[in-house]
């Protein structure tokens, strides 16, 4: 197997003959290496019973004046279809380990209410449950990813849920599903076996959770022919490498398809900073935390390689994104924050990292889809707007199921005081039609970047799309919903076999080469 990587040439000591002595921001396609397919599931999303993500976000009920399909907003369905979301994780998050799925089936009037103790202590009436979510996924054309309750639920409860949604023969759970109006199973493939077992999922030690995982996973069966469940273990909190070590060492590989990783770009858990009124220092710190994702994946992957050299087990980054202080005047347990150009840059750079680690990262979920944290959609009453992060995810969906083009990159530094970060982030792929796409991010808050790309090919045309704005702090509001949106990019040209690009500060660019 040929080795490929996303590297900085200064670190690796790699010199390319085509570079001039003083050349900077140079990218080279490594044509003599074979890259993996970028799994479309890297572009997944997350919908937790948290704040106004489900209720008022996705779901308004079938009696609402807001146009809906079985209670799900039609404008949300249309927007997410355009985004081509490949999977959607539900019902949590921390909420998953207090959620009992049988509370959310059957006639809505008869469903018991609970208190959402994790997020705002609000009453949850369970009007949005298993049927509602899985039918919504069918409307969206996306695969559901169900997070099972391990913290407060039983093995039997999780096993019954699997049977309820997947078994096509006659059984107690499939009979119950038919009784509630669904004849055919949904055939749910992705299953989380608990969530954040090191924290809100039970404050477990990794050794204890590994044994719990083995027990629960043993009783989870696909229940349909020629298919297997994709079971995902509750993985590490950011740089807890021992957690990954213990899980990989102690869980048999026939019970394990994926190991999760959670990492948020946060300035400080005590002082997260405002989502809109932030300084360049706070922007730099956010990007510093976000770019740490590359180191995390390198190190967790190295541990996984020891126990799984054939890379059969996926690294699943099923919670990522920027986390700031909640918007003033909102419920602190609802985690509502605005979404600026800072978030667009963060999203673009993070997705480039995932693409370049596509050999091991085969699924990821942005937290969260609507009205919570780094969302792609915001709603208010019957109005919906798309965030800058939405536009980045839409621009980048050209990479879904395309073949990664491994690259070597040398970047200028983005310097603030005595600290520095690489100014340029890049990934590239070739789709099934043979079209090449390059996604580039300029992280620098004040300087444009000139980039030379040696494509080692004979491309005749290049066109692109650009996302940027007048200020880093700009965002789309309900009064100005289109302040930030993609526009045509004319800053790229092909000269003497090389591609030259001039990208403005804090900007995201997607190029198409043919």
Is 257 a known active-site residue? no
Lowest mean pLDDT across 10-14, 141-145, 161-165, 468-472: 10-14
Domain identity same for 198 and 272:
yes
Asked whether the predicted pLDDT for residue 7 surpasses 70, the reply is: no
Residue 135: count other Cβ atoms within 10 Å of its Cβ.
Answer: 18
Is 319 a known active-site residue? yes
Domain identity same for 471 and 358:
no
Residue 288: which of 428, 423, 473 has the closest Cα? 423
- Rounded mean pLDDT, 182-202: 97
* Cβ atoms of 314 and 361 closer than 8 Å: yes
**What is the overall mean pLDDT for the chain?**
94
Asked whether the predicted pLDDT for residue 5 surpasses 80, the reply is: no
Q: Please report whether residue 456 resides in a domain.
A: yes
Q: What is the CATH number of the domain that holds 54?
A: 3.20.20.80
Number of domains in the chain: 2
Domain residues for the domain of 14 are 7-36+405-513
- Rounded mean pLDDT, 191-203: 98
Q: Please report whether residue 2 resides in a domain.
A: no
Could you give the CA distance from residue 95 to residue 103 in angstroms, rounded to a whole number?
14
Percentages of the chain per state (helix, strand, coil), in multiples of 5: 30, 25, 45
Taking only the tens place, the pLDDT of each residue in 124-133 is 999 999 999 9
Domain identity same for 96 and 77:
yes
pLDDT for 15 equals 31
Taking only the tens place, the pLDDT of each residue in 410-451 is 999 999 999 999 999 999 999 999 999 999 999 999 999 999
Active-site position among 48, 143, 257, 319: 319
pTM of the model: 0.94
Residue after which a domain boundary falls, among 404, 426, 445: 404
Active-site position among 48, 143, 196, 257: 196
Percent of the chain with pLDDT over 70: 95
**How does DSSP assign 308-369, residue by residue?**
-TT--SEEEEEEEEE--PPPTTS-TTS-----BHHHHHHHHHHHHHHHHTTTTEEEEEES-S
Domain identity same for 348 and 376:
yes
């Amino acid at each position: 197997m040929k080795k490929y990587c996303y590297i900085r040439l200064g670190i690796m000591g790699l010199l390319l003959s085509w570079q001039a002595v003083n050349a900077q921001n140079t990218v080279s396609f490594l044509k003599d290496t074979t890259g993996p397919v970028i799994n479309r599931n890297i572009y997944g999303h997350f919908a937790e019973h948290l704040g106004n993500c489900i209720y008022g976000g996705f779901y308004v009920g079938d009696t609402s004046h807001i146009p809906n399909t079985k209670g799900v907003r039609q404008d949300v369905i249309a927007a997410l279809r355009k985004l081509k979301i490949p999977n959607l994780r539900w019902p949590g998050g921390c909420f998953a380990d207090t959620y009992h799925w049988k509370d959310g089936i059957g006639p809505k009037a008869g469903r018991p209410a609970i208190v959402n103790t994790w997020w705002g202590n609000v009453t949850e009436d369970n009007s949005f449950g298993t049927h509602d979510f899985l039918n919504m996924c069918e409307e969206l054309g996306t695969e559901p990813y169900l997070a099972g309750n391990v913290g407060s639920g039983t093995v039997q409860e999780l096993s019954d849920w699997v049977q309820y949604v997947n078994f096509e023969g006659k059984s107690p759970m499939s009979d119950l599903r038919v009784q509630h109006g669904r004849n055919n199973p949904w055939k749910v493939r992705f299953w989380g076996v608990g969530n954040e077992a090191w924290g809100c999922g039970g404050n477990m030690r990794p050794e204890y959770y590994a044994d719990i995982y083995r027990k629960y996973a043993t009783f989870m069966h696909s229940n349909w022919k020629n298919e297997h469940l994709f079971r995902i273990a509750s993985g590490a909190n950011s740089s807890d490498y021992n957690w990954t070590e213990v899980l990989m060492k102690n869980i048999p590989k026939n019970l394990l398809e994926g190991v999760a990783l959670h990492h948020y770009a946060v300035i400080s858990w005590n002082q997260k900073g405002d989502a809109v009124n932030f300084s360049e220092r706070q922007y730099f710190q956010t990007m510093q935390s976000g770019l740490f994702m590359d180191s995390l994946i390198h190190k967790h992957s190295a541990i996984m390689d020891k126990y799984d050299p054939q890379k059969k087990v996926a690294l699943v980054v099923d919670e990522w994104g920027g986390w700031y202080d909640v918007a003033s005047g909102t419920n602190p347990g609802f985690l509502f924050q605005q979404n600026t150009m800072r978030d667009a840059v963060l999203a673009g750079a993070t997705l480039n990292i995932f693409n370049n680690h596509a050999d091991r990262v085969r699924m990821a979920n942005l937290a969260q889809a609507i009205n919570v944290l780094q969302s792609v959609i915001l709603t208010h009453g019957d109005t919906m707007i798309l965030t800058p992060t939405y536009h980045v995810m839409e621009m980048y969906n050209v990479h879904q199921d395309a073949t990664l083009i491994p690259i070597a990159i040398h970047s200028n530094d983005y310097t603030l005081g005595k600290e520095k970060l690489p100014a340029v982030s890049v990934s590239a792929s070739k789709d099934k039609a043979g079209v090449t796409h390059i996604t580039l991010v300029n992280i620098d808050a004040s300087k444009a970047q000139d980039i030379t790309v040696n494509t080692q090919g004979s491309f005749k045309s290049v066109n692109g799309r650009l996302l940027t704005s007048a200020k880093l702090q700009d965002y789309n509001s309900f009064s100005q919903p289109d302040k930030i949106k993609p526009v045509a990019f004319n800053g790229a040209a092909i000269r003497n076999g090389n591609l030259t690009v001039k990208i403005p500060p804090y900007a995201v660019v997607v190029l198409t080469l043919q």
